[in-house]
Structure 1
Amino acid sequence: MTTSETSRFVRLRVDLVMEVTDSGALGGAALDRIAGDEFMPDDERARSQGAVRGDDAEALAHLVDPFDLVSAVPGVELAQASWSSELTDYDPDSPEWELGVDDDYEGESDLDDEVAGDDEGDVAAGGGGRL
């Protein structure tokens, strides 16, 4: 229960590793999403289309929307989101990839220093974006 002495804001950390099984389908879906965005300026559209061609991580970042993860959760409203996508060497047998293991987490994050930005959901160059 939230009281006046506790924060009403909750940071939810989610770490996903996905295997790209069809790079063409992924890239095509990202290009379709970009083409269908009526609010994206033409110069940004051209940059985004170039970025997703041949870059699965960039394509995925254009298709994942954190709002979709929480929009059906009752009693919450998304205040801020940022996300990124990168290629990684994944070894499911390595202890490094055990669920719940995060040696770098010390209760703080580089996200703590971010200021709430625009709410257009645009994906920035480099495979990330912010709502």
Structure 2
Amino acid sequence: MTSTDTTGQDTPRYVRLSIELIAEITDEGALKAAALQQVAEDAYLDDEERAQSVDAIEVDPSGSLAHFIDPVALLGDVPGVELASATWESVKTDFDPEGDEWDEYAVEESAE
């Protein structure tokens, strides 16, 4: 069976995509201001959600960044695909671009 074979024409096939991004915040004030503006202009947030969003932005810049993640935009123009579900979070992390644990191309050596 190849990836183009299906078990039935009307049977949806679900795929879980895992994406990890590391973003460097270079101007926390600009990010915070932009996130607050985005929350203020978001027509889909009710008052409670808006207040929670503002609180998250005030506490942590990673909360600001989360307001700019749009999974619909990632898949919006892909033909034959509909977004079924999406969750995401942004958290602070230690990052050392020279560290081995951050080398996405490194291949683990097998123990002999």
- Compute the TM-score of the two structures, normalised by the length of structure 1: 0.70
Matches within 5 A, 1:1-131: 1-4=4-7, 8-99=13-104
Count, aligned residues: 102
Between structure 1 and structure 2, the one with the greater Rg is 2
List runs of 5+ in structure 2 lacking aligned partners. none
State the Cα RMSD in Å. 2.1
Q: Report which of the two has the higher share of helix.
A: 2
Give the Cα separation in 2 of the matches to 1:34 and 1:21.
21
Q: Which has the higher contact order (CA 8 A, sep 6+)?
A: 1
What SS does structure 1 have at the residue aligned with 2:88?
Answer: strand
Identity of aligned residues (%): 46
Give the Cα separation in 2 of the matches to 1:19 and 1:80.
27
Q: Report which of the two has the higher share of strand.
A: 1
- Compute the TM-score of the two structures, normalised by the length of structure 2: 0.80
- 4+ residue segments displaced more than 2 Å: none
Amino acid at match of 1:15: E
How has the CA–CA distance of structure 1 residues 92 and 38 changed in structure 2, closer, same or farther, with 3 Å as cutoff? same
How has the CA–CA distance of structure 1 residues 12 and 74 changed in structure 2, closer, same or farther, with 3 Å as cutoff? same
Give the Cα separation in 2 of the matches to 1:9 and 1:90.
32
Deviation at 1:26, TM superposition (A): 0.9
Amino acid at match of 1:41: D
* 1:27 and 1:54 in contact (8 A); partners too: no
List runs of 5+ in structure 1 lacking aligned partners. 104-131
Deviation at 1:18, TM superposition (A): 0.6
